[in-house]
Amino acid sequence: MTKSSPALPVASLANIEESTKATAILTRIAKSLAKSLQTWYQANRRDLPWRQDQNPYLIWISEVMLQQTTVAAVIPYFERFVIRFPDVHTLAKAELSEVLEHWAGLGYYSRARLLHLSAKALCQQDFPQKAELLLKLPGFGPYTSRAVASLAFGQRVGVLDGNVIRVLCRVMGFKVRWWQTAERVKLQEIADLFVQSGSPSAINQGLMELGATVCTPKNPLCILCPWNTQCVARKEDKIEQLPLKRPRKKIEFWIWKPELHVKKDKVLLVENNYAPFLKKQMLFPGTIQESPKKPKKFDARHSITHHDIYIQIAKKINYPLTNRTAGNLEHKWVAIKNLKSVNPSSLLQKVIQAGKKMI
């Protein structure tokens, strides 16, 4: 092994001693790996629409869209979104309903709501250039803050997403419970070491690119990897075992009984503070109860993360509205044809389809 390619430690990250010597070793390893990674990235990077320049707004929009969504799926949504909302001021001035319409299909609609809130805040100031300042804005978590700060402004902070976790765990042989806070913090420290030399933007994007295109969850293309001679997981034949698998959340069965309140061509929606999914979003009023098993009879079914929702439409209730239903909740009458502009989730459409005989 040459000096430029130091041997990697075959050990769990949890067992690495917090000492000056250990830090020095990891720093040397990270610097060597980062150098070859940056060269690989410049030669193999994909031509993506948000990589045309270092515009913080476009980088921010892309990073939010890419959460829980593939690059291929995001590209057409991104292109349509930035044509309609080309800058932060346009986004801030838009109605939330229009933002949601342009987000429809990407799912996780709280992202769009927080995006809109942050745009309003950003209009009152210059775009923050540091992760610690971005972190104060709605919807800017540790990953998004670090991604924007490093990709747009060159701050030397590492990013840690699913791709980066997989790449780091494999190349360095880390057997860590990355979903637990303490061990995730240690992984974040390793990611930070990688960007202390070279271009933070190229290195962070290189890590993510490597995970997305080469070091994939299944059938990785190790022969194309710039680290294939240094990868501990490859040497030990443990690629399929790393990173460790996060325990899956148990599927929960929920019986939801939405009430269809109808007034001409409109239905009633209330702010959801009673169901464990789509919190604070506009839903049909009703009741919900967790069930130990799937019900035998239901009108429709829908899944949101680990919530398996069985819809049993309660009944048709005509106007006027009663206090029992709305109470002090925020509520509104919405034309059926405009439901998607208020809540794009297909859950509402399923209720309408299942209850169309009542309407």
Whether the CB-CB separation of 342 and 96 falls below 8 Å is answered with no
How far does CA 342 lie from the centroid of its chain? 22
The pair of structure tokens assigned to 228 is: 């294939």
* CA–CA distance, 169 with 301 (Å, rounded to integer): 38
Active-site pick, 63, 183, 209, 259: 63
Find the helix packing angle between 110-122 and 96-103, rounded to 10°: 130
- Residue 297 is classified by DSSP as -
CB 140, CB 128: distance < 8 Å: no
Task: Assess whether 63 carries a catalytic annotation.
Answer: yes
CB burial class (10 A; 0-12, 13-18, 19+) of residue 271? middle
Phi and psi dihedrals of 217, rounded to 5?
-55, -40
Token pair 């349509």 is at which residue?
80
List strand residue ranges (DSSP E) for 122-163, in order: none
What does the buried/exposed string (b/e) look like for 137-155 if buried means 16 or more CB atoms within 10 Å of the residue's CB? bebbeebbbbbbbbbbbeb
**CB neighbour class for 161 (10 Å; exposed up to 12, middle 13-18, buried from 19):** buried
Alpha carbon separation from 193 to 95, 168, 211 (Å, rounded): 42, 12, 18
Q: Please name which of 325, 312, 326 lies closest in space to residue 254, comparing C-alpha atoms.
A: 312
β-strands 307-311, 266-271 pairing: unpaired
The three-point CA angle 175-207-210 to 5° equals 95
Q: Which residues are catalytic?
A: 63
